[in-house]
């Protein structure tokens, strides 16, 4: 495969799932540089794919991931624009820390890759799920203005955790207090959608928080 930098960037965008199959199909039929970048055999395979067939698309993505030239000696090109990682899933030694915390959002940081210079927002959820959410460089921070939004984002991206003794957790009541401060009158069932433990345990922690702090929580 040839190293056409613009075409390679689009190909890697497709491989990591940030470019929809239909848009990728339109691109390969409307840009002359695609064939020279992919090579004849891979190009013929690409134009023979049924892009409505998820299995065929995923198999082609897998092939490209193994065969595409690597644009830089880092992993940034493989990370999707909104990427969930367990905390420590990548080493931050290869990144320059630009901003620690954005306004009141102590969980949101700005990094730059020292190798390819891609800039990232990193949202750190360290209480419940112990995950990082990476957002590829945008001028404005992602919409994570509250801890509720941070937890909701983590859940939507598939974050999970198992508690062996959730009834004695320190982190759960701290998180419930944060959520109740952000949204007075929040229902315990809504809290339970964000914290993966039985509803009755959430209700007991919430009662303790309400008694201790005077915050209003709806126990339904």
* Residue 156 placed within a domain: no
What is the span of the domain harbouring residue 206? 166-218
Element (H, E) at 90: none
Cα 204 → chain centroid: 31
pLDDT at 2: 54
CA distance 153 to 161: 15
Phi/psi for 148 (5° steps) reads -60, -45
Domain containing residue 182: CATH number: 1.10.10
Residues 60, 83 within the same domain: no
* Same domain for 177 and 123: no
Which helix (H) or strand (E) covers residue 144, if one does? none
Is the residue at 48 inside a domain?
Answer: yes
Q: Which residues contact 62 (CB under 8 A, 6 or more apart)?
A: none
pTM of the model: 0.85
The count of structural domains within the chain is 3
Q: What is the pLDDT of residue 4?
A: 65
- Asked if residue 118 lies in contact with residue 76, where contact means CB atoms within 8 angstroms, the answer is yes
Residue 12 belongs to what H/E stretch? helix 5-15
What local confidence, expressed as pLDDT, does residue 104 receive? Answer: 85
51 CB-near residues (< 8 Å, 6+ apart): 21, 22, 24, 25, 57
* Non-local CB neighbours of 49 within 8 Å, separated by 6+ positions: 25, 56, 57, 60
Going by C-alpha positions, the residue among 68, 76, 121 that lies closest to residue 94 is: 76
Q: Answer for the pair 136, 161: CB distance below 8 angstroms, yes or no.
A: no
pLDDT value, residue 93? 92
Per-residue pLDDT tens, the chain, 220 aa: give them.
656 688 989 999 999 999 999 999 999 999 988 888 888 899 999 999 999 999 999 999 999 999 898 888 999 999 999 999 999 888 899 999 998 888 788 999 999 999 999 999 999 999 999 999 999 987 788 989 999 999 999 999 999 999 999 999 999 999 999 999 999 999 999 999 999 999 999 999 999 999 999 999 999 8
Contact between 121 and 109 (Cβ < 8 Å):
yes
Phi, psi of 54 (to 5 degrees): -60, -40
Same domain, 63 and 84: no
Position 161 in a domain: no
């Amino acid at each position: 495969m040839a190293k056409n930098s613009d075409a390679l960037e689009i190909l890697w965008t497709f491989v990591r799932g940030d470019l929809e199959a239909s848009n990728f199909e339109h691109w390969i039929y409307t840009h002359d540089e695609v064939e020279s970048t992919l090579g004849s055999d891979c190009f013929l395979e690409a134009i023979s794919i049924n892009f409505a067939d998820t299995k065929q698309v995923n198999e082609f993505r897998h092939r490209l991931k193994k065969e595409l030239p690597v644009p830089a000696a880092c992993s940034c090109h493989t990370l999707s624009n909104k990427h969930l990682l367990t905390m420590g899933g990548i080493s931050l030694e290869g990144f320059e820390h630009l901003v620690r915390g954005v306004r009141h959002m102590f969980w949101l940081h700005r990094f730059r890759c020292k190798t390819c210079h891609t800039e990232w927002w990193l949202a750190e959820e360290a209480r419940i799920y112990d995950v990082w959410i990476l957002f590829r460089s945008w001028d404005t921070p992602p919409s994570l203005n509250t801890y509720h939004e941070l937890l909701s984002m983590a859940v939507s991206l598939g974050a999970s955790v198992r508690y062996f003794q959730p009834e004695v957790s320190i982190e759960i009541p701290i998180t419930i207090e944060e959520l109740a401060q952000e949204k007075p009158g929040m229902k315990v069932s809504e809290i339970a959608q964000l914290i993966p433990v039985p509803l009755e345990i959430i209700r007991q922690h919430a009662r303790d928080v309400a008694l201790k702090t005077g915050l209003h929580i709806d126990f339904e």
